[in-house]
Amino acid sequence: MSEGPRGHLVFACGGSLYAVPAERASEVVNLPSLTRVPGAAPHLLGVFAHRGEVLPVIDLTRLIGKPADEAFRRVVVVRVGRGVMAFTATKVIGVSAIEGAPPRLGESGALAFMHGPARVPSGDCATIDPEGLLEFLARGR
């Protein structure tokens, strides 16, 4: 049984396109200076205060083991039941409808919470399962 089309916010980071369910993307903000977190994994660039809460910034390129790309200027703030996180973005494309659920990009690690390729007007993208990825990161990965 296939799912109907679902709105996703599509953004670019490190030469790749990613998408998060639109209802989970709460806002896009310019990247401020970050506070480093002791003992954090390399993909956790730091945190910043925004509207009275602390937002952790995740570099998606480092998270999936690609070479770091420091060209990002913005972050996409993603909110799920258990918390909030912000993904680095070089460019925010917009909202596109994505139909169905493409296969996982990997069996383990962060790629197990990304699916693709999903076709959007600007190219192929990886859709992120934000609930699963947050749970994975919260386990200290």
Partner 1 sequence: MKPIDGIALCRVGEARLAFPCDEIDAIAAVGPDALGAALAFGDVGSPEGKALAHGHRLLQVDSVDVLATTALAVLPVPAVIARAAGGALAGFVLLAGDLWPIVSVGGLLDFLESRRSGP
Shortest distance in whole angstroms from residue 133 CB to partner 1: 9
C-alpha separations of 46 from 22, 56, 102, 120 in Å: 24, 6, 31, 30
What is the three-class DSSP state of 120? Answer: strand
Tokens of 138: 């919260």
Closer CB to partner 1, 71 or 80, in the complex: 80
**Three-point CA angle 140, 56, 48, nearest 5°:** 145
- State which residue, 44 or 125, has the beta carbon closest to partner 1: 44
- Minimum Å gap between C-beta 56 and partner 1 is 5
Q: ∠ CA(20), CA(103), CA(84), 5° rounding?
A: 25
Q: How far is the CB of 101 from partner 1 (least distance, A)?
A: 23
Binding-site ranges for partner 1 (CB under 8 A): 35-41, 44, 47-49, 52-56, 58, 82-85, 134, 137-140
Q: Which two tokens stand for residue 53?
A: 């809460």
Which residue's CB is nearer to partner 1, number 83 or number 109? 83
Smallest gap, in angstroms, from Cβ of residue 110 to partner 1?
12
